[in-house]
Chain A
């Protein structure tokens, strides 16, 4: 019963947000949702299967740019296919998956650090293409993103739409789409993790040879998870493009990839909830610090010297990664769970995801 109340409250709060909060918060929230979708993807790969990937930003870029290319009408300088936008979105996600598949000779054979650094090649190679393939990508300045249109409903500021006296612009409309995409992604990933594939993935992470002995096709699994994670990256990219309304190649660099790794470590490795919490933390922290820099001690307002909010956010975020690994092996999600266990009233059903410290290993 209490669980239903909690979920109903979450739902009501979610529905209420676009009616009350201004554009800035909606935009930040949407970036967080897109980040959460991407983080779920990388958590399947890195958290659950133990494959380090630094190339996640590449798949976001692929999703974003593919959507733009498929959906845009060709112009004098820029190519485009002018497909219906929902189809373009689906194709963009599939393309990201296909690219992940093309990388599978490497993704399947390499593991751990080797894969991590090999995927750096995707970032650098990808950005090189983004900058140079101007007819497709628009080069340095990127391209404008055509708004999504589903059954005549356009996710843009025009035509005007007023719901309950509140004007519904692009951000308000996308809010619900983003929520649906996140919910779908989360449920699917939860299904994967709780089922047979999830167990196989965890075994590969914890003990590769044992997994092989038990009949798990290790190489195929690694490649398959890589493809799945790429598709999540692609979907996050499509969402990001829709919110951004513009794709810029600079954004899809190594820092973005590092952000995703930070999200899953901070939130909690190997679970959907961890990815979502981590994504929210990493996306919201700098915005909150900047917004309220005047009111915070130790943080100087921008332009006044001292530690600026952006720097404070970077330092806090770096320190959070270190602190979580040192003190909270289960991430923020693990912390929430242990809090809940101390407050029996809030107790939810125990989740079967193993926490990292139960993993066997020959490491000190």
Chain B
């Protein structure tokens, strides 16, 4: 009962523990990714997430938060791709296993999920949310896990392990301004509105629109909103007051629908051009549909799923066979593209007989002009401090097209976008 005995008990307990600690799994260094990669029986070097029979890939997605619909499409498309890969014999004689973790767009959950799956993951075919990827950027870089973020902010550039697909938001907006000037009769001295979200989606887009309008002598009228704002009446009033001739839209689909609907109803009949995240085909079932079909476009580096490409026709057929009745939104094509990028990186790494994390990244970064019959301009993966592509499609909502949108103008790099220097990540 004395203090001494307490101390003895505690000390004994600690000693027992110390003696057995060497038997712990962690004693081999399991806490961190082993720096040395082992070679398997088939002469292929392996690393974490790769065994003799399997390659494990983790999707860190949002199935319960604000991007749930996007996350669901991404996840399903990627699972479809890897199932097909497995049916065709897998990669490097190994089966691909996918692990899905839902973080609900919560940075802390994303961190916890990453900590859970990272030690046994070879690559991350999609990771939703730029705040989440930004928060983990240093870890991903030092863990050397090839990661495809589903966000296109410039802040995500600059890491060897992270591959932002296609264009960044700012490039898209520069191409959008170019489109307005060339096709919609906007000229120097005109005012252009930009409705954007708080956060780096909006901020990146704003970088682009500021640059482009500055170069072309246009005046930019900014309106910032939050994801929780639903009614854009006040913003429309502000744009009207300023007399804008066109509006750029870097918000979510709901806000887009409200903006376009209110503007049209109140007699503000101007063209609208959105970022790739501003539109969703679900909007065509709402009262905002007529306004969206009238003079709204969005810019994106990935071709819409209705593009006349054999690869997409097969994807549509396979996807609908597996997930009947599910919408074919941009998440399906984006997910498929990202899965293909990872699949190709793994295949190339296999050719080089190196499936360690370093090997996968090296194989991926060796591709200077990647394209897989998915349209768009080829992506240059050998650089990672600049966008992989600078060409954007202009896409228009269409009730009859698969996925609710069709190509309005083929992918092109505007002169402005060519000369644009992406702000350094920091």
Contacts and interface: CB of A to CB of B under 8 A. Distances in A.
A11 B119 CA distance: 28
A286 B109 contact: yes
Nearest to B203: A140
A49 B203 CA distance: 44
Contact of B115 (A7, A15, A27): A27
A202 interface: no
A4 B119 CA distance: 38
Interface stretch (B20-28, B241-249, B276-284, B372-380): B20-28
A171 B116 CA distance: 13
A36 B75 CA distance: 35
Interface stretch (B11-19, B85-93, B293-301): B11-19
Interface in B152-192: 155
A208 to B, nearest CB: 36
B31 interface: yes
A308 B63 CA distance: 8
B234 interface: no
B108 A244 contact: yes
Contact of B32 (A131, A169, A301, A310): A169
Contacts of A5: 9
Given A1-B1, A244-B108, A291-B116, A22 B22 contact: no
A274 B220 CA distance: 55
Interface residues of B, number: 53
A5 B200 CA distance: 54
Interface string A143-181: 010000000000001000000111101011000000000
Nearest to A21: B26
Contacts of A303: 59, 61, 63, 72, 75-76, 79, 100, 102
A217 interface: no
Interface in A228-279: 244-246, 248, 250-251
Interface residues of A, number: 54
Contacts of B31: 22-23, 166-167, 169, 171-172
Contacts of B203: 139-140
Contacts of A309: 102
Contacts of B198: 131, 140
Contacts, number: 143
B128 to A, nearest CB: 12
Contacts of A167: 26, 29, 31-32
Contacts of B107: 244, 246, 248, 250-251
A12 B104 contact: no
A246 B110 CA distance: 12
Contacts of A245: 138
Interface in A11-55: 11-12, 15-16, 19-24, 27-28, 31
Contacts of B29: 167
Interface stretch (B129-137, B211-219, B346-354): B129-137
Contacts of A290: 101-102, 113, 116
B325 to A, nearest CB: 12
A120 to B, nearest CB: 14
Contacts of B79: 303
Interface in B70-118: 72, 75-76, 79, 100-102, 104, 106-109, 111-113, 115-116
Contact of A24 (B1, B64, B116): B116
Contact of B26 (A12, A19, A27, A248): A19
Contacts of B108: 31, 244, 251
Nearest to A166: B26
Contacts of B134: 141-142
A340 B76 CA distance: 49
A361 interface: no
Contact of A31 (B17, B21, B112): B112
13 contacts: A4-B9, A11-B10, A12-B14, A20-B25, A20-B26, A24-B116, A142-B131, A164-B22, A244-B111, A250-B107, A287-B112, A301-B100, A303-B79
Those 8 A-B pairs whose CB atoms lie nearest each other, nearest first: A12-B13, A303-B100, A140-B199, A24-B116, A8-B9, A165-B27, A302-B100, A303-B75
Interface of A: 1, 4-5, 7-9, 11-12, 15-16, 19-24, 27-28, 31, 75-77, 131, 139-142, 144, 157, 164-167, 169, 171-172, 244-246, 248, 250-251, 286-287, 290-291, 301-303, 308-311, 314
